[in-house]
Amino acid sequence: MEFKLVCDTESLDLARSGSVWGNIWVEISGLAFPEPHWNDMPVAFLAELLDAVAHVRSGDGDRRRVRFFDGPFWLDLVGRENGGTLEVTVNASGTSGARVVAVDAQEAARSLAAVRDELVRACLQRGWGDQMDVRRLQVR
């Protein structure tokens, strides 16, 4: 697959604010974005990404932007072929080049679901099941 979400569950930490922080990044055509081991809020980011993928799979041309919570980085998603294909663009503020890849929507959804399951399991093992973002991710 040319699009992969990577989450290092060993890096997870619970901030005083109740937000879960850890390393999460996207690999698109061999490029790590924003960078390998990017530290952000993986639970909240993945919940937003899952919502966006579900939305753009609903029809041809449907669009959503998902921003990383730290830094000026985002993914633009567009549904193609009646939602059977996702066009994924990664970009950052202040850069001139974006990277675009088309991926099978069903394969991408399965891959994200696997990361979701692993991330939820890691949070529950740490006793963070009552955190709002973890509960939100569990129902996705």
Q: Which of 17, 76, 77, 63 is nearest to 41 (CA)?
A: 17
Residues 6+ apart with CB under 8 A from 136: 43, 44, 47
Q: What is the tens place of the pLDDT at every residue in 100-135?
A: 899 999 989 999 999 999 999 999 999 999 999 999
Q: What is the tens place of the pLDDT at every residue in 27-66?
A: 988 889 999 999 999 999 999 999 999 999 987 788 999 9
pTM beyond 0.95: no
Q: What is the pLDDT of residue 59?
A: 78
Mean pLDDT for the stretch of residues 4-17: 96
Residues 6+ apart with CB under 8 A from 74: 65, 66, 67, 68, 90, 91, 92
> Three-class SS of residue 8?
strand
Mean pLDDT for the stretch of residues 6-28: 96
pLDDT band at 80 (very low <50, low <70, confident <90, very high): very high
What distances in angstroms separate CA 111 from CA 15, 46, 60, 127, one per listed residue? 27, 12, 21, 25
Mean pLDDT for the stretch of residues 1-29: 93
Secondary element (H or E) of residue 117: helix 105-125
